[in-house]
Amino acid sequence: MSSSDRSSRTAAYKPALAAFAGFGSAWVFLLVALGAFTTSIGAGMAFADWPTSNGSFNPHGWLTNLAMFAEHSHRLSAGVMSTVTIILALWLWRSEQRGWLRKLAYFAVALVLVQAVVGGLRVLYDSKQVGLVDTSLGRLFAMLHACLAQLFACTLIGIATACSRTWIESSETPLAARTRTLGRLCVALIFVQLAIAAVMRHSFAGLAIPTFPASNFDGGLIPHAWNFRIGIHFAHRIMALVLCIALPWFAFTLLNERGAAFRFRLGAVVLLVLLALQISLGAQIIWTYRAAAVTTGHVLVGALTLATTFWLTWFAHRDVIEAKATA
């Protein structure tokens, strides 16, 4: 790159770049929703090949067959997501002064490409059984695919937030260290919960405990019998209980933080609403025997809960991130 190209880089607010980054961070949730719906209706293997679908990028009948539509729409939206991420990284490479932000964009590109390959391996190795864990290699890749999706969503949110006017022009008093630590803890807990959920979903354990809030038909809180599927399902419920304590704690800490900006208070309220909605959807999954719409909603709200918690925590660390980058 020439010296004139380098000198054109700035850390100033760029409306078009911010809007494009925002579009990318929003598109990822469409991708999550389509992936969740595809899994919920058991359409992950609607096509046995990859990257094409039945040997074509426009397979016959995909607009009229629900399973084919779900899987092929997911693949097409993933293609759009990859293109958007690459364009965003190139845009930042050309125009952004902050080296850490450019590196974060490069990481996003690597992540979306790895995610695409993992998604393909999920299809290509679905028939290969792994006796040790009594599942297929393809389903193990599906679990990894679901976890990487959450990491990718957070990465795009981090980029979009750093491109926003509020981030670039902010001069607010930093939040307390205790609040930041609590935010990091909540993000980590949600990641663990979503990983457990991915294993549960792809192990067909969503109804391993078919009662709620009880864990057995006698009304008890502990299952009478145990196996892997019951165990992973029960772990999901235990982590949900942990989050029902941790997330309100974080939200009310933000609401009570002296001098906290309005966005933190609004985000805290949104987080509480999402948590309540997620609990309701989780119960409805059991009561409706995994209705596809309810299950898809539960996955999507889980991703939005992580996104909101990450966004609050990421913004709470703005001064630390920028200071380390310029040190």
Global pTM reads 0.93
3-class secondary structure, 135: strand
Give residue 4's pLDDT band: very low, low, confident or very high (50, 70, 90). Answer: very low
Structure token digits, residue 255 = 């609401």
3-class secondary structure, 153: helix
Domain spanning 173-327, CATH architecture: Up-down Bundle (1.20)
How many angstroms separate the CA atoms of 244 and 91, rounded?
40
Using a 10 angstrom Cβ sphere, with 0-12 exposed, 13-18 middle and 19 or more buried, the burial of residue 324 is exposed
pLDDT of 258-268, one tens digit each?
A: 888 999 999 99
Structure token digits, residue 306 = 């992580």
Q: Which of 62-76, 160-174, 222-236, 264-278 has the lowest mean pLDDT?
A: 160-174
Mean pLDDT of all residues in 71-92? 97
- Would you kindly state where each structural domain of the chain is located, as residue ranges? 11-169, 173-327
Structure token digits, residue 149 = 């999706």
Give residue 6's pLDDT band: very low, low, confident or very high (50, 70, 90). Answer: low
How many angstroms separate the CA atoms of 27 and 32, rounded?
9
Q: Is the pLDDT of residue 35 over 80?
A: yes
Q: What is the pLDDT of residue 326?
A: 59
Give residue 249's pLDDT band: very low, low, confident or very high (50, 70, 90). Answer: very high
